[in-house]
């Protein structure tokens, strides 16, 4: 196959490209330039000049043709603007899912296919397994590194053109392999946080982007406990940084229970109020055939969160498609905007974007 390997400049994508090449594919490396403000932004994330150079160096060591594709316009419109708009609307988005869905496996994939490539190879820790209905997406063997959650938005036509060579290995083994292959990125630290917020200060980024929007912090009875500078600085389940001054009457810690940008209100309360047993989502994305009847599965609501047993149901009506998930065990602090990813065993069934919880 002709394979386009996305090289982020990190160790995982470099080893993935090397394995694709060793498997006999005709591999070309491409680094996705996602930010126009790349220069001097530090080494974190996936869009700095240093990362581009590391990606090029890895391609050179592997003797792969290497190009940089400028996806900054698409990334800004599809990922960054969406991220800001979601927070502004009081939701908590996951930009990595969004990037995989809209950038890597839509914009880049479309261009790759048009240029004659057969597949895109990335360094994600997930496995593709041939199943009766086509390729199935499964969790990685290394459960600590498993990234199937952020791929839960990929549909069959996208999975059919994907290559995830690292899903069967541990990060430790991949690092060792990188060193053995002479890849200088072998010891490079993992990227963390949101790549377009290189200093890691998401609240600061949002307040710079959205401007101040002060409002009250209230308890469940509506009693004003304090003020805040903008609802976008808060996410459901958050405990720290509330700056309420005096403790609750019962002395117990308080958590963010709800964020309402329209009224600019942040509601706080006790931990048990975060408990959620029912999650509803919109924009379902099925990794295989859509389930036609209620599905026993496990549901995961964070990239590295626990999956809990659940019953999921796909409904399509005049209001559009919805996914209803009843959790067998309560989860704490589920925010609108998060993705609920459904699994059967290790297989990813699909996902939806949470819009209601109860």
Partner 1 sequence: MAYLDHAATTPMLPAARAVMTAELHQVGNASSLHAAGRRARRVVEESRESVAAAFGARPSEVVFTAGGTEADNLAVKGLFWARRAADPARRRIVASPVEHHAVLDPLSWLVEHEGAQVSWLPVDRLGRVSAADVTAAIAADPSSVAYVTVMWANNEVGTVQPVAAVAEAAHAFGVPVHSDAVQAAGVLPVDFAASGLDALTLSGHKIGGPLGVGALLLGRGTEVTALLHGGGQERDVRSGTLDVPAVAGFAAAAEASRTDRVARSARVAGLRDALVAAVLAAVPDARLNGDPDPAGRLPGNAHFSFAGCEGDSLLLLLDARGIACSTGSACSAGIAQPSHVLLAMGADEASARGSLRFSLGHSSAPGDVAAVADAIGPVVARARGAGVVAARTV
Q: Is 114 in the site for partner 1 (CB under 8 A)?
A: yes
Question: Could you tell me the smallest distance in angstroms from the CB atom of residue 281 to partner 1?
Answer: 24
Tabulate helix, strand, coil % of the chain (nearest 5).
30, 30, 40
**68/173 with CB nearer partner 1:** 68
End-to-end CA distance of the chain: 47
Which residues make beta-bridge pairs with 295? 312
Q: Do 242 and 293 meet the contact criterion of CB atoms below 8 Å apart?
A: no
CA distance 94 to 136: 23
Crossing angle between the packed helical segments 81-88 and 202-210, to the nearest 10 degrees:
90
Which residues, 204 to 223, sit near partner 1 by CB under 8 A? none
Active-site residue flag, 195: yes
Residue 116 touches partner 1, criterion: CB under 8 A:
yes
**224 lines the binding site for partner 1 (CB under 8 A):** no
Query: Does position 53 bind partner 1 by CB under 8 A?
Result: yes
Edge-to-edge order in the sheet of strand 265-269: 224-228, 215-218, 265-269, 255-260
- Residues 24, 39, 251, 319: which binds partner 1 (CB under 8 A)? 39
Binding to partner 1 in span 68-87, by CB under 8 A:
68-70, 72-74, 77
What pairing do the DSSP bridges indicate for beta strands 275-286 and 224-228?
Answer: unpaired
| CB of 93 closer than 8 Å to CB of 237 | no
Residues 50 and 55: their CA atoms lie apart, in Å, by 9
Residues 6 or more apart whose Cβ sits within 8 Å of residue 97? 149, 150, 152, 153, 339, 351
Using the rule CB under 8 A, is 345 a contact of partner 1?
no
Using the rule CB under 8 A, is 201 a contact of partner 1?
Answer: no
Q: How far is the CB of 73 from partner 1 (least distance, A)?
A: 6
Whole-angstrom Cα distance, residue 229 to residue 323? 34
Q: Is 57 in the site for partner 1 (CB under 8 A)?
A: no
Q: Does 33 bind partner 1 (CB under 8 A)?
A: yes
Of 185 and 266, which CB lies nearer to partner 1 in the complex structure?
185
Residues 287 and 298: beta-carbon distance below 8 Å: no
Q: Pick the catalytic residue from 46, 47, 96, 99.
A: 99
Cβ-based nearer residue to partner 1, 170 or 191: 191
Rounded distance between C-alpha atoms, residue 131 and residue 338, angstroms: 28
> Of 46, 47, 96, 195, which residue is the catalytic one?
195
Structure tokens given for 192: 């963390």
- Residue range at the interface with partner 1 (CB under 8 A); choices 104-112, 126-134, 240-248, 350-358: 104-112
Q: Quote the CA–CA distance of 255 and 243 in Å, as a whole number.
A: 12
Query: Does 121 participate in catalysis according to the annotation?
Result: no
Give dist(CA 163, CA 184) in Å, integer: 23
| Binders of partner 1 in range 84-103 (CB under 8 A) | none
Decide whether 85 or 220 has the Cβ nearer to partner 1. 85
CB atoms within 10 A of CB 348: 28
Binding of partner 1 by 265 (CB under 8 A): no
Residue 49 or 283: the one with the smaller Cβ distance to partner 1 is 49
Going by the DSSP 8-state scheme, the letter that residue 108 receives in this structure is I
CB of 103 to partner 1, least distance (A): 9
Q: Which of 106, 209, 275, 277 binds partner 1 (CB under 8 A)?
A: 106
Nearer to partner 1, 111 or 264 (CB): 111
Which chain residues interact with partner 1 by CB under 8 A?
28, 31, 33, 38-39, 49, 52-53, 56, 65, 67-70, 72-74, 77, 106-107, 110-111, 113-116
Catalytic residues: 99, 195
């Amino acid at each position: 196959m002709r394979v386009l390997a996305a090289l982020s400049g990190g160790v995982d994508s470099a080893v993935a490209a090397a394995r694709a090449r060793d498997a006999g594919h005709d591999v070309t490396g491409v680094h996705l330039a996602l930010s126009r403000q790349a220069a001097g932004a530090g080494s974190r994330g996936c869009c700095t000049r240093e990362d581009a150079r590391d990606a090029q160096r890895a391609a050179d060591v592997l003797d792969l043709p290497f190009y940089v594709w400028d996806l900054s316009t698409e990334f800004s419109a599809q990922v960054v603007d969406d991220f800001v708009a979601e927070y502004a609307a009081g939701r908590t988005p996951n930009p990595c899912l969004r990037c995989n869905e809209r950038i890597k496996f839509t914009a880049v994939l479309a261009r790759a296919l048009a240029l004659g490539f057969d597949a895109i190879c990335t360094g994600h820790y997930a496995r593709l397994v041939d199943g009766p209905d086509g390729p199935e997406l499964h969790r990685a063997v290394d459960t600590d590194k498993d990234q199937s959650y952020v791929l839960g938005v990929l549909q069959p036509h996208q999975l059919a053109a994907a290559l995830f060579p690292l899903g069967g290995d541990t990060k430790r083994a991949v690092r060792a392999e990188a060193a053995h292959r002479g890849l200088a990125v072998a010891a490079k630290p993992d990227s963390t946080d949101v790549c377009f917020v290189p200093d890691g200060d998401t609240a600061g980024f949002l307040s710079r982007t959205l401007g101040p929007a002060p409002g009250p912090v209230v308890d469940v009875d509506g009693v004003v406990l304090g003020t805040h500078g903008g609802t976008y600085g808060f996410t459901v389940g958050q405990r720290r940084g509330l700056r309420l001054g005096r403790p609750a009457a019962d002395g117990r810690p308080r958590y963010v229970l709800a964020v309402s940008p329209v009224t600019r209100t942040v509601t706080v309360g006790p931990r048990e109020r975060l408990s959620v047993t029912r999650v509803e989502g919109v924009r379902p994305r099925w990794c295989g055939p859509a389930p036609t009847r209620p599905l026993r599965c496990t549901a995961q609501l964070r990239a590295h969160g626990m999956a809990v047993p659940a019953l999921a149901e796909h409904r399509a009506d005049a209001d559009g498609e919805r996914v209803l998930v009843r959790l067998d065990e309560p989860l704490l602090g589920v925010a609108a905007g998060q993705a609920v990813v459904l699994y059967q065993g290790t297989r990813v069934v699909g996902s939806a974007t949470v819009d209601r919880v109860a």
